[in-house]
Amino acid sequence: MSTIEVTGGISLQGEIEIQGSKNAVLPILAACLLGEGVCVIENCPRIKDVSDTLEIMRGLGCRIRREDRTVSVDASGVDRCEISGEEAARIRSSILFLGALLGRMKKAVLPLPGGCAIGERPIDQHIAALRQLGARFYLEEKVAADAWDLKGGRVELALPSVGATENAILASVLAPGETLIVRAAREPEIDELCAFLRRRGARIRRTAGGDIRIVGVKRLGSACYRMRPDRIVAGTYLLAATATRGQIFVKDFPHHELDALLAVLRDMGVTVGYEENGIRLMAKMPLRALPYLETAPYPGFPTDLQSPLMAVLCRARGESCICETIFENRFRTVDQLQKMGAKIRTDGRCAVMKGIPALIPASLTAPDLRGGAALVIAALQANGSSVIRNTRYIERGYEDICRDLSALGARITYRG
Ligand code: EPZ
């Protein structure tokens, strides 16, 4: 089993480029199923979630070619509409094939997506949205639906679910008629999916009020699309630089996608801002605590950066409180940080941290993807060498966290 070894105490310095976005490329790969065209995706991150998704697509009949970070998908041969339990078990976001298969094949059969490390992950909003477009679900023990008379309509989401918004988009771009998705998620990954689909000839746009309006078209053509950088990976590295009192420049990063994080960093006393085509950060001083912060749907503070921020607040001066409002089980890093001496207590959806001067190196176990990244950030602060197990979680979303942080001066390596 591979581990990551980190020798902490070094301030991160330098420039870094960020990999393509995991949470944007996954729905875009599912969208490649919609129609017979060949799609070329550039700057596609080399991460496990992408490899697993491409395997599922091959199983459905896609011809896939991958050269480094360029993936080409020929979906003309798609002849299956069922994803097996074994395939889907590898990756939760396989649920996005529900909308894509209904849009392409008018039929879809997938296993019920289980919960995962961070929570139950229900799909009631996905099902409700697709029903509003004419899909008919006919099994209990599986996610099985047909949609022979799929047609545009008004989809009202009860909550701004990212995945449910994406599934409604994937099912409606080829459906006759007009679709309006009310209370659509506002995450940038949704707008990137829309940009990709417009590139293929879809008629889709976000209204001034934030809803998504679609007019169904008969077919989608080929397209070539370059993925934008991953905002959660960028945020992770900005937090790592903050934790080590470093100074970094994130190159080629779209402005405003990390506004909520930058505002929080400034509250902590960090000098950070958008500059030319990137983000410059300098964190040379003792950090101020955050009396209260809660995660929220975009443009609020992203839940995916909650654990990495917690690792930074362990050494901020004073008492901080973070409340996790999106997922019900996203404090699984707490006991690992406590092994390093962190003073943290949780109370329901909130965690309270009392800053301490130093973290103790330890042998750690990553509990999930972003929790694993948080432990790397904690280990970068400890005076000595820490080891992190379960690195497979981290590899789901970070191309090579050791390569990236070493480029900023960290002493961090994979072992085994
Ligand atoms: C996406 O998950 C991301 N994953 C998550 O990133 C991210 O944390 C999340 O959006 C929120 O931003 C991908 O894009 C692949 P949701 P998703 O549907 O779509 C509840 C990472 O670390 N809900 O917006 O599953 C749900 O339980 C991952 O990269 C329902 O109740 O998120 C959760 O509490 C983790 N019913 C909340 O909504 C539903 O039908 C947000 O879920 C769907 C969701």
pLDDT tens readout for residues 303-361: 999 999 999 999 999 999 999 999 999 999 999 999 999 999 999 999 999 999 999 99
Among 226, 257, 275, the domain-final residue is 226
Looking at the structure, tell me whether residues 7 and 37 fall in a common domain: no
Active-site residue, selected from the candidate residues 62, 81, 116, 314: 116
Task: Give the model's confidence band at 87: pLDDT under 50 very low, under 70 low, under 90 confident, else very high.
Answer: confident
**For residue 297, which atom of ligand 1 is closest to its CA?**
12
Question: Residue 284 belongs to a domain with what CATH number?
Answer: 3.65.10.10
Looking at the structure, tell me whether residues 253 and 152 fall in a common domain: no
- Domain enclosing residue 323, as ranges: 3-18+229-415
Atom 6 of ligand 1, residue of closest alpha carbon: 304
Looking at the structure, tell me whether residues 286 and 216 fall in a common domain: no
Give the mean model confidence (pLDDT) for residues 106-115.
88
Centre of ligand 1 to C-alpha 326, Å, is 8
**For residue 160, which atom of ligand 1 is closest to its CA?**
24
**Are β-strands 319-323 and 293-294 bridged in parallel, bridged antiparallel, or unpaired?**
parallel
Q: What is the pLDDT of residue 57?
A: 96
Whether residue 268 has its Cβ less than 6 Å from ligand 1: no
Looking at the structure, tell me whether residues 296 and 357 fall in a common domain: yes
pLDDT at 91 over 90: no
pLDDT at 184 over 90: yes
Looking at the structure, tell me whether residues 177 and 194 fall in a common domain: yes
Concatenated DSSP letters for 251-317?
-S--TTTTHHHHHHHHHTT-EEEEETTEEEEE--SPPBP-S-EEB-STTSB-GGGHHHHHHHHTTSB
Centre of ligand 1 to C-alpha 163, Å, is 6
Whether residue 315 has its Cβ less than 6 Å from ligand 1: no
Whether residue 326 has its Cβ less than 6 Å from ligand 1: yes
Give the distance between the most distant pair of CA atoms in the chain.
63
DSSP state of 152: -
Atom 1 of ligand 1, residue of closest alpha carbon: 162
Whether residue 370 has its Cβ less than 6 Å from ligand 1: yes
Q: What is the pLDDT of residue 65?
A: 98
Centre of ligand 1 to C-alpha 271, Å, is 31
Q: What is the pLDDT of residue 182?
A: 98
Which residue has tokens 């995962």? 116
pTM of the model: 0.98
Q: Which residues, at least 6 apart from 140, have a Cβ–Cβ distance to it below 8 Å?
A: none
Among 49, 112, 121, 170, which is best to mutate for testing ligand 1, by the most ligand atoms less than 8 A from CB? Answer: 121
Task: Give the model's confidence band at 380: pLDDT under 50 very low, under 70 low, under 90 confident, else very high.
Answer: very high
Distance in angstroms (rounded) separating the CA atoms of residues 69 and 83: 25
Looking at the structure, tell me whether residues 175 and 239 fall in a common domain: no
Query: What is the domain count for the chain?
Result: 2
Q: What is the pLDDT of residue 109?
A: 96
Among 187, 210, 226, the domain-final residue is 226
Residues recorded for the chain: 416
Centre of ligand 1 to C-alpha 188, Å, is 14
Whether residue 162 has its Cβ less than 6 Å from ligand 1: yes
Task: Give the model's confidence band at 141: pLDDT under 50 very low, under 70 low, under 90 confident, else very high.
Answer: confident
pLDDT tens readout for residues 357-368: 999 999 999 999
Q: Which two three-digit tokens encode residue 397? A: 């979303």
Looking at the structure, tell me whether residues 26 and 70 fall in a common domain: yes
Whether residue 304 has its Cβ less than 6 Å from ligand 1: yes
110 against 91, higher pLDDT: 110
Backbone dihedral angles phi then psi of residue 179, each to the nearest 5 degrees: -120, 140
Distance in angstroms (rounded) separating the CA atoms of residues 400 and 382: 21
Q: Which residues, at least 6 apart from 394, have a Cβ–Cβ distance to it below 8 Å?
A: 4, 366, 369, 372, 373, 376, 388, 401
pLDDT at 123 over 80: yes
Atom 42 of ligand 1, residue of closest alpha carbon: 161
Whether residue 37 has its Cβ less than 6 Å from ligand 1: no
Distance in angstroms (rounded) separating the CA atoms of residues 407 and 116: 32
Looking at the structure, tell me whether residues 180 and 312 fall in a common domain: no
Among 226, 251, 266, the domain-final residue is 226
Looking at the structure, tell me whether residues 307 and 208 fall in a common domain: no
pLDDT tens readout for residues 266-301: 999 999 999 989 999 999 889 999 999 999 999 999
Looking at the structure, tell me whether residues 126 and 200 fall in a common domain: yes
pLDDT tens readout for residues 223-247: 999 999 999 999 999 999 999 999 9
Centre of ligand 1 to C-alpha 94, Å, is 13
Q: Which two three-digit tokens encode residue 386? A: 């820490």
Contact 288, 54 (CB under 8 A): no
Q: Which of 66-80, 101-115, 195-209, 324-338 shows the lowest per-residue confidence on average (mean pLDDT)? A: 101-115
Q: What is the pLDDT of residue 285?
A: 80
Backbone dihedral angles phi then psi of residue 262, each to the nearest 5 degrees: -65, -40
Atom 32 of ligand 1, residue of closest alpha carbon: 162
Q: What is the pLDDT of residue 318?
A: 98
Looking at the structure, tell me whether residues 177 and 87 fall in a common domain: yes
Is 116 one of the catalytic residues?
Answer: yes
Looking at the structure, tell me whether residues 245 and 172 fall in a common domain: no
Q: What is the pLDDT of residue 1?
A: 78
Atom 15 of ligand 1, residue of closest alpha carbon: 23
Whether residue 93 has its Cβ less than 6 Å from ligand 1: yes
Number of helical H runs and strand E runs in the chain? 14, 23
